[in-house]
Structure 1
Amino acid sequence: MSLLLRWTFCLLVCLVAQVAFAARPNILLVMADDLGYSDLGCCGSEIATPHLDALAAGGLRFTQFYNTGRCWPTRGSLLTGYYAQQIRRDQVPGVPSGSRGTRPAWAPLLPALLQPAGYRSYHSGKWHIDSMPLACGFDRSYYLKDQGRFFNPLVHYEDDVKLPAVPKGTSFYGTTAIADHAIASLKQHAKEHPDAPFFQYLAFTAPHFPLHALPEDIAKYRDRYRSGWEQIRAERFAKQQQLGFPAVALSDVERTLGPPYPFPKAMETLGDGEVNLPLAWEALTDEQRAFQANKMAVHAAMIDRIDQELGRVLDQIRSMDAFEATLILFLSDNGASAEIMVRADGHDPQADPGSADSYLCLGPGWSTVSNTPFRRHKTWVHEGGIATPLIVHWPEGIADRGALRHTPGHVIDIAATLLELAEIEPSPTSRAASAPTPPGNSLLPLFSQDQSLDRECLWWSHEGNRGLRQGDLKIVAAGKAGAWELYNLADDRSEQHDLADRQPADLKRLVALWESKNREFSDQARQPQ
Structure 2
Amino acid sequence: MTPRRLRLGAAFALAFSTIAVPAGSARAAAPPNVVVILADDLGFSDLGCYGGEIATPNLDRLAAGGLRFTQFYNTARCWPSRAALMTGYYAQQVNRDPAGSRPTWAALLPDLLRPAGYRSYHSGKWHVDGPVLEAGFLRSYSGDDSGDYFTPAFQRLDDKPLPRPKPEDGHYSTVAIASHAVEWLDGHHREHPGDPFFLYVAFTAPHFPLQALPEDIERYRGRYAEGWDVIRARRWARQRELGVYDGPLSPLDPTTVPSWNLAEEELKRRVGPGEVGRAVPWASLTAEQKAFQAAKMAIHAAMVDRMDREIGRILERLEAIGAKDDTLILFASDNGASAEQLIRSTGHDPAAPLGSAMTYLGVGPGWSTAANTPFRLHKYWTYEGGVSTPLIVHWPAGVKARGELRHTPGHLIDVAPTLMEVAGVTPPETWNGATRPAPPGRSLLPAFAQDAAVERPFLYFNHEGNRGLRVGDWKIVAPAPAAAEGRWQLYDLAKDRAEVHDLAARHPEKVREMADLWKRNDEEYRRQAATSPRPPRPGEPAR
TM-score band, normalised by shorter chain: over 0.9
Is the counterpart of residue 404 in structure 1 residue 405 in structure 2? yes
What does 1:51-450 correspond to in 2, within 5 Å? 51-91=58-98, 98=99, 101-264=100-263, 265-427=266-428, 430=431, 432-450=433-451
- 1:246 shift after superposition: 3.1
- State how far apart, in whole Å, the 2-side matches of 1:413 and 1:336 are: 22
Whether the 8 Å contact between 1:476 and 1:486 is mirrored in structure 2 is yes
Whether the 8 Å contact between 1:24 and 1:421 is mirrored in structure 2 is yes
- 1:16 shift after superposition: 3.8
- State how far apart, in whole Å, the 2-side matches of 1:176 and 1:364 are: 27
- 1:258 shift after superposition: 2.7
- 1:266 shift after superposition: 4.3
- State how far apart, in whole Å, the 2-side matches of 1:128 and 1:266 are: 28
Whether the 8 Å contact between 2:376 and 2:499 is mirrored in structure 1 is yes
2:37 to 24, 27, 30: 30
1:484 matched residue in structure 2 = 488
- 1:280 shift after superposition: 1.3
- State how far apart, in whole Å, the 1-side matches of 2:452 and 2:205 are: 33
Whether the 8 Å contact between 1:113 and 1:430 is mirrored in structure 2 is no
1:509 to 503, 508, 513: 513
Is the counterpart of residue 496 in structure 1 residue 500 in structure 2? yes
1:94 matched residue in structure 2 = none
1:524 matched residue in structure 2 = 528
Q: Could you report, residue by residue, the CA deviation over 1:210-229 in whole angstroms, capped at 9, with x for unpaired residues?
A: 00100000001010000000
- 1:432 shift after superposition: 4.5
Change (3 A) 1:440 1:280: same
Task: Name the TM-score, length of structure 2 as normaliser.
Answer: 0.92
Q: Could you report, residue by residue, the CA deviation over 1:370-423 in whole angstroms, capped at 9, with x for unpaired residues?
A: 000000000000000000000000001111210000000000000000000010
Whether the 8 Å contact between 2:268 and 2:274 is mirrored in structure 1 is no
- State how far apart, in whole Å, the 2-side matches of 1:475 and 1:500 are: 8
Structure 2: gaps of 5 or more residues: 13-26, 534-543
- State how far apart, in whole Å, the 2-side matches of 1:170 and 1:70 are: 32
- State how far apart, in whole Å, the 1-side matches of 2:365 and 2:4 are: 56
Whether the 8 Å contact between 2:45 and 2:235 is mirrored in structure 1 is yes
1:4 matched residue in structure 2 = none
- State how far apart, in whole Å, the 2-side matches of 1:503 and 1:411 are: 30
Task: Name the TM-score, length of structure 1 as normaliser.
Answer: 0.94
- 1:431 shift after superposition: 6.3
Whether the 8 Å contact between 1:51 and 1:307 is mirrored in structure 2 is yes
- State how far apart, in whole Å, the 2-side matches of 1:499 and 1:429 are: 43
Whether the 8 Å contact between 1:119 and 1:196 is mirrored in structure 2 is yes
Which residue type is aligned with residue 500 of structure 1?
A
- State how far apart, in whole Å, the 2-side matches of 1:34 and 1:13 are: 42
Which residue type is aligned with residue 103 of structure 1?
R
- State how far apart, in whole Å, the 1-side matches of 2:401 and 2:186 are: 31
- 1:271 shift after superposition: 1.4
Which residue type is aligned with residue 337 of structure 2?
A
Give the number of aligned pairs.
Answer: 510
Whether the 8 Å contact between 2:4 and 2:194 is mirrored in structure 1 is no
- 1:500 shift after superposition: 0.3
Which residue type is aligned with residue 321 of structure 1?
G
Which residue type is aligned with residue 89 of structure 2?
Y
- State how far apart, in whole Å, the 1-side matches of 2:106 and 2:518 are: 23
- State how far apart, in whole Å, the 1-side matches of 2:453 and 2:510 are: 21
Secondary structure in 2 matching 1:169:
helix
- 1:66 shift after superposition: 0.2
Secondary structure in 2 matching 1:123:
strand
- State how far apart, in whole Å, the 1-side matches of 2:520 and 2:96 are: 19
- 1:525 shift after superposition: 1.2
- State how far apart, in whole Å, the 2-side matches of 1:69 and 1:80 are: 17
Secondary structure in 1 matching 2:392:
strand
- State how far apart, in whole Å, the 2-side matches of 1:301 and 1:145 are: 20
- State how far apart, in whole Å, the 1-side matches of 2:44 and 2:521 are: 27
- State how far apart, in whole Å, the 2-side matches of 1:404 and 1:69 are: 23
Identity of aligned residues (%): 56
- 1:437 shift after superposition: 1.1
Q: Could you report, residue by residue, the CA deviation over 1:141-164 in whole angstroms, capped at 9, with x for unpaired residues?
A: 000021111000111000111111
Which residue type is aligned with residue 497 of structure 1?
H
- State how far apart, in whole Å, the 1-side matches of 2:309 and 2:111 are: 30
Which residue type is aligned with residue 49 of structure 2?
C
- 1:261 shift after superposition: 2.1
- State how far apart, in whole Å, the 2-side matches of 1:325 and 1:137 are: 23
Which residue type is aligned with residue 359 of structure 1?
Y
Moved more, 12-21 or 507-516: 12-21
- 1:234 shift after superposition: 0.5
- 1:282 shift after superposition: 1.2
Change (3 A) 1:200 1:14: closer
Secondary structure in 1 matching 2:167:
coil
Secondary structure in 1 matching 2:435:
coil
- State how far apart, in whole Å, the 2-side matches of 1:477 and 1:430 are: 35
Q: Could you report, residue by residue, the CA deviation over 1:451-473 in whole angstroms, capped at 9, with x for unpaired residues?
A: 11221100000111000000000
- State how far apart, in whole Å, the 2-side matches of 1:38 and 1:16 are: 42
Which residue type is aligned with residue 165 of structure 1?
R
Which residue type is aligned with residue 442 of structure 1?
S
Secondary structure in 2 matching 1:506:
helix
1:3 matched residue in structure 2 = none
- State how far apart, in whole Å, the 2-side matches of 1:349 and 1:81 are: 43
Secondary structure in 1 matching 2:311:
helix
- 1:14 shift after superposition: 5.6
- 1:433 shift after superposition: 4.7
Whether the 8 Å contact between 1:259 and 1:364 is mirrored in structure 2 is no
- State how far apart, in whole Å, the 2-side matches of 1:235 and 1:89 are: 38
Which residue type is aligned with residue 209 of structure 1?
F
Change (3 A) 1:507 1:14: closer
Q: Could you report, residue by residue, the CA deviation over 1:355-384 in whole angstroms, capped at 9, with x for unpaired residues?
A: 000111011000000000000000000000
